Amino acid sequence: MSTNALDANMLQEIEKRRTFAIISHPDAGKTTLTEKLLLFGGAIRLAGTVKGRKASKHATSDWMEIEKQRGISVTSSVMQFDYNGHRVNILDTPGHQDFSEDTYRTLTAADSAVMLIDSAKGVEAQTKKLFQVCSKRGIPIFTFINKMDREGRNPFELLEELENVLGIRSYPMNWPIGSGKQLCGVYDRVKTQVELFKGDDHSEITVQKVSGYEDEIIRDMAGEHLYNQLQEELMLLDVAGDEYDYEKVLRGELTPVFFGSAINNFGVQTFLENFLQLAPSPASRKSSQGEIEPTYDGFTGYVFKIQANMNPAHRDRIAFFRIVSGKFERGMSVKHVRAGKDIKLAQPQQFLAQDRDIVDTAFPGDIIGLFDPGIFRIGDSLSTGKEIVFDELPTFSPELFSKVTIKNALKQKQFLKGIDQLTEEGTVQVFHTTSGFDEMILGVVGQLQFEVMEHRMKSEYGVDILLHRMPFQFARWVVDDKLDPTKFRINSQLVKDKKDNYVALFENEYAMRTAMEKMPSAKFLETAP
Ligand code: G4P
């Protein structure tokens, strides 16, 4: 795609942006780390604000009623702050049981990811799932191994696990000096310096430049035992570890690893500084017109998530929009490509650490919230100038299924409308049975979506629904010229999706494999064809 000459200011705005997501398993310390990063950025003043918010019943980010009830954040939000000349956008990805397709889709708006790992637990289930989504996109992944103040696993073992479980090579950027109660600092392999934690609560950090890890200064600072241990470990790392290769980092083949402790602020600032330096500025996205670079002269972007009811008083929806190229200005007219209409972006919102603010200008890499009176769908593209359609966002196969029925049959009309509109948002998929009565089955990626569905059907459509969990764990779209429905009887069921595609639901992998073997000519797809 050709690029017109851009003014220097625009290039600077693009260059300074870093848009990333933190991926982790619940309890690894994502809230704690996020909070520390926001503190460095001056976006919040007091530690405990984000944590407090997480537990609070009336928190700012608790947009939906259900969030208030549970004190957790259901839907991903975005936080923005400035640090060292960078404009940082952190995409929050829900990690508890509120895991959903939203979480996955949000990752498409990130240009890099920070993978947070609990040093005692290593790579956990949800980290693995999120990693795979990032890895498929080939974005750079930075690793922060947290809770080094506790007795955790051996750092070498953790690196090995990254390779064995996730298949990614690693390069430790720093190395812990001691661990658990004995942790007294980290050795920075890149800057060849030592950061020592001082004071009773280790809140002071002294930085000392050294000539290398053999430097006697470290012996004086950390003591004989830890000095010797560090020597041994770093020598081993030099001999057996991977070499640092920035190109591989950018391709997502090598992850720079940082050890630290978010709660004590150990290694967090150096992590942030290194990360901002190494992480890429906003990347291009694929479209019907080829790759659209952030420097492309038209304004373009796409909706990656729609959130309903952020303000329950108004039932409004917010479409989260990632800017791919061009400058956004409040009030500008853009083409809504799918709808074939020009629309005016009048009241866009930007997400700062605390509040939502009306935004006047924004640049590639930024996420803005567009007021949505019901005109957007996930994946919609907006552009000025030439019409650009960005590639479809990936969909994910549901893993949990429930039959859905209505308590009061008189509300059938609202029930169908609610199911239709809510499944349109993309976090819940609806299927219909193919034999006997027409029954509806809902499929989700995370359990909480069922509760959200139940809650919203009642509060927005006035309908009480009943959900009956079904034993299925896998859904596969079946494509076959001569599909024989009788083949799906044991531990499986054949249903249809909204577009009348055949979908087979399976209780276990064995049932799925058996079906595949019995129908060699059929294709079993993880997402809709
Ligand atoms: P999450 O968002 O990933 O779920 O994790 P969160 O930050 O809420 O942290 C989970 C628990 O781990 C919290 O403890 C938190 O204080 C603790 N934690 C986070 N970072 C560190 C660290 O570097 N070292 C140690 N030792 N602990 C850490 P909690 O008891 O569940 O909550 P709270 O009582 O501290 O609020």
Average pLDDT over residues 352-359: 59
Q: Report pLDDT digits (tens) over 37-62.
A: 888 877 655 544 454 444 433 333 33
What pLDDT, on the 0 to 100 scale, is given for residue 179?
85
Identify which of 25, 31, 32 to mutate to test ligand 1's pocket (most ligand atoms within 8 A of the CB).
Answer: 32
**51: Cβ below 6 Å to ligand 1?**
yes
Q: Bridge partners of 492?
A: 506
155 pLDDT exceeds 50?
Answer: yes
Report residue 179 as tokens.
């661990």
pTM of the model: 0.84
Query: What sign has the CA pseudo-torsion 371, 372, 378, 382?
Result: negative
Q: Is 285-383 the same fold as 3-278?
A: yes
Residue 347 vs residue 462, higher pLDDT: 462
Q: Is 26 in the pocket of ligand 1 (CB under 6 A)?
A: yes
pLDDT greater than 90 at residue 138: yes
What is the spatial distance between Cα 88 and Cα 367, in angstroms, rounded to a whole number? 11
- Contact 147 CB / ligand 1 (< 6 Å): yes
Ligand 1: residue whose CA is nearest its atom 4: 27
Query: Which residue has 């991977």 as its token pair?
Result: 242
H-type alpha helices, 16-154: 30-40, 49-55, 65-70, 101-108, 125-137
User: How many Cα atoms sit within 13 Å of 345 on the Cβ side?
Assistant: 32
- Which residue type occupies 137? R
- Looking at residue 452, what is its pLDDT? 83
* pLDDT value, residue 326: 96
- Can you give the pLDDT at residue 74? 38
Ligand 1 centroid–CA 29 distance in Å is: 5
Query: In sequence order, which residues have a C-beta less than 8 Å from that of residue 261 and are 6 or more positions away?
Result: 146, 147, 148, 149, 183, 267
Q: What is the pLDDT of residue 451?
A: 86
- CATH homologous superfamily for the domain 285-383: P-loop containing nucleotide triphosphate hydrolases (3.40.50.300)
Cα-based distances in Å from 371 to 153, 320, 374: 47, 9, 9
Rounded to an integer, what distance in angstroms lies between the CA atom of residue 264 and that of residue 178? Answer: 15
Superfamily of segment(s) 400-525: Peptide chain release factor 3, domain III (3.30.70.3280)
Write down the architecture of domain 3-278 according to CATH.
3-Layer(aba) Sandwich (3.40)
Share of residues in the chain with pLDDT > 70 (%): 87
Q: What is the pLDDT of residue 199?
A: 64
Q: Which of 378-382, 477-481, 484-488 comes out lowest in average pLDDT?
A: 484-488
The more confident residue out of 465 and 408 is: 465
Q: What average pLDDT does this structure show over 240-262?
A: 95
Does residue 119 have its Cβ closer than 6 Å to ligand 1? no
| Domain locations in the chain as residue ranges | 3-278, 285-383, 400-525
Name 437's bridge partners: none
* Contacts of 480 by beta carbon, 8 Å cutoff, 6+ apart: 502, 519, 521, 522, 523
Considering only CA atoms, which residue is closest to atom 24 of ligand 1? 147
Cα 315 to Cα 374: distance, rounded to the nearest angstrom = 11
- Counting atoms of ligand 1 from 1, which one is nearest the CA of 28? 3
Number of separate helices (H) and strands (E) present in the chain: 14, 31
pLDDT band at 350 (very low <50, low <70, confident <90, very high): low
- Stated as kind and residue range, the H or E segment containing 254 is strand 254-259
Q: Closest residue (by CA) to atom 33 of ligand 1? A: 51
Hey, which residues does 502 pair with through a beta bridge?
496
Regarding the beta carbon of 151 and ligand 1, being less than 6 Å apart is answered: no
Q: How many CA atoms, within 13 angstroms, populate the side-chain half-sphere of residue 27?
A: 8
pLDDT of 266 strictly over 60: yes
With beta carbons less than 8 A apart as the criterion, state whether 172 and 159 touch: yes
Q: Whose CA is nearest to atom 25 of ligand 1?
A: 147
